[in-house]
Structure 1
């Protein structure tokens, strides 16, 4: 484990950029970026265009470690290069931004009010490669739609079980049990979720470190006690479908909670923009998300 990266994630000022839309969500992300599906004919072409988009964001002068602590990549981005360096090395060595890897394979079907993660078939091999590529940590997402104790307990159980495989490889897992912002009983689901997370943390060996990525809670500062748990490196928030403005506004009311936004970060960026326009838009987005993250 890289201690400089650990210290930066634990106590640095800033937020995490989530650049990890993968297979299923890529065409949509590209459409928002102004690249229609007719622009590419196969996955290889699609991923090359995605890498160009990610490279443009990462190389932008606006993408600066003064504001950004870490960046979450997906497998295809980790396995490509920026200016001859593996993406993770470029992030850390050129930008002083900590690299993470999304490792989940998407969501299973809806059962007991939740969607667990699909089995991650090649996890061990993927983690070995992540370590070779100098990645610091991982991210994996489940979704909670209802305040169902059985389902939420299963989500937390699965997240922490896979999390421990990740810890054994020397990586820091970002555990992400997202509560759907449109859930009719979001607040109740968050009550159950917090209780289950506290239980799971209490069972960890004392040296184990994890991060949490959670929806912005209905009750402000609801996750404060999780932030002070010795196992927790950082608690970060997803934008979860809120517009950037709304996500920032809600985030700013939660002391110590920092952003890990994806769609809300790239909102308004398009392939056709000049570099000046692109960098200026990205710079404004980053400044606003940063401001909401340091409250």
Structure 2
């Protein structure tokens, strides 16, 4: 049996006639746009850090880790010696030409150099943005195969507000994933979620968050396995960042490069590392992110610079740069030896490494002028900060 439907008869969608459904208020369908109180400042800070030919100096080692560095040159781990070494770094003449930001440990953020100036004022005077490490370190993850999770979210909003008042304008949070330990899905998810919550809190306090999902060098896996794991880690990280309404224009990413595990017998050339790493960036990172500030992760000074240079042989939608600790400071420490007479020579060593990485950020690095010390390996299995 067929029925003729007149023009006055309603059409049906499901079980509710369209002429009986109530139209939703127009406002309910509008896109809610994020507008935080620090948005313009966050974008400006991130863009300042991600300027051509410049990168980050990571001098945020904990007191215990800084003590290991000092012990390696026979210097006692005291507050005054830690301050003296960090003063040597930040007062290096001309450092701001190559360094756009310096990540500090909390102790340093509140210290002054010998003439009474605050560290933050010295950095600003060099056109270097002061930053601050805000995580509370890695602790064992229960019910895992030796994996870790990063603590420090409790009280973070209060701490970041104080750091902003003290002069910091960006922050760093490091979480890690271990390939030999799995990685398990719970470790990957915890890494990504913790980074996203931290980032949202920092932006609410006016600090640009450096998002650091480090895939550790530990292991004998090949470069393809590193790529596979890093893709999952980065996918989860950016998913949670979006869920937390983090503004991508006001963050910086600090990842590890895609390399074989440190114990893999097959090594990768700088060109191969660059090809794999850029492939990962293009697959996972929105172009709205201003800067990719790679960590060195135990690579030698030379290796870290060569790999960065290879990644900058063509145009990228991001500022592809560096955020090195050991790969900027290793030769500096060995030159200084805790002696006042070596102060200038140590600062010259820092400028040399900073200039080399500045050239690599522009794809213009020439390794022919490097000394043998730059090729010394710095990988430490299970390294902690």
Structure of greater Rg = 2
Deviates more, 1:104-113 or 1:66-75: 104-113
Contact (CA 8 Å) 2:200, 2:246: kept in 1 or not? no
Contact (CA 8 Å) 2:256, 2:295: kept in 1 or not? yes
Query: Does residue 1:61 correspond to 2:93, yes or no?
Result: yes
Q: Report deviation, 1:61.
A: 1.2
Secondary structure in structure 2 of the residue aligned to 1:69 = strand
Contact (CA 8 Å) 2:196, 2:246: kept in 1 or not? no
Q: Report deviation, 1:4.
A: 5.0
How far apart, CA to CA, are the structure 1 residues paired with 2:44 and 2:52? 11
* Structure-to-structure mapping, 1:238-249, within 5 angstroms: 238-249=295-306
Query: Does residue 1:159 correspond to 2:191, yes or no?
Result: no
- Number of residue pairs aligned between Structure 1 and Structure 2: 284
Query: Does residue 1:135 correspond to 2:178, yes or no?
Result: no
How far apart, CA to CA, are the structure 2 residues paired with 1:193 and 1:205? 19
How far apart, CA to CA, are the structure 2 residues paired with 1:27 and 1:87? 20
Q: Report deviation, 1:120.
A: 4.5
Instruction: Quote the residue 1:280 is aligned against.
Output: 348
Secondary structure in structure 2 of the residue aligned to 1:268 = helix
Instruction: Quote the residue 2:331 is aligned against.
Output: 268
Q: Report deviation, 1:233.
A: 3.1
Q: Which runs of at least 4 in structure 1 moved beyond 6 Å after TM superposition?
A: none
Counterparts in 2 of 1:259 and 1:286: CA distance versus 1, 3 Å: same
Counterparts in 2 of 1:5 and 1:288: CA distance versus 1, 3 Å: same
Query: Does residue 1:17 correspond to 2:57, yes or no?
Result: yes
Cα deviation digits, residues 79-100 of structure 1 (max 9, x gap): 10134332122211x1000111
How far apart, CA to CA, are the structure 2 residues paired with 1:35 and 1:164? 41
Counterparts in 2 of 1:263 and 1:119: CA distance versus 1, 3 Å: same
Cα deviation digits, residues 173-217 of structure 1 (max 9, x gap): 111111102243422211211221332343353745221110012
How far apart, CA to CA, are the structure 2 residues paired with 1:112 and 1:196? 20
Q: Report deviation, 1:104.
A: 1.0
Instruction: Quote the residue 1:259 is aligned against.
Output: 322
Which stretches in structure 2 are left out of the alignment for 5+ residues?
Answer: 1-37, 260-275, 313-318, 364-385
Contact (CA 8 Å) 1:10, 1:233: kept in 2 or not? yes
Bigger RCO (CA 8 Å, 6+ sep): 1
Counterparts in 2 of 1:60 and 1:156: CA distance versus 1, 3 Å: same
Q: CA RMSD in A?
A: 2.2
Which stretches in structure 1 are left out of the alignment for 5+ residues?
Answer: 41-45
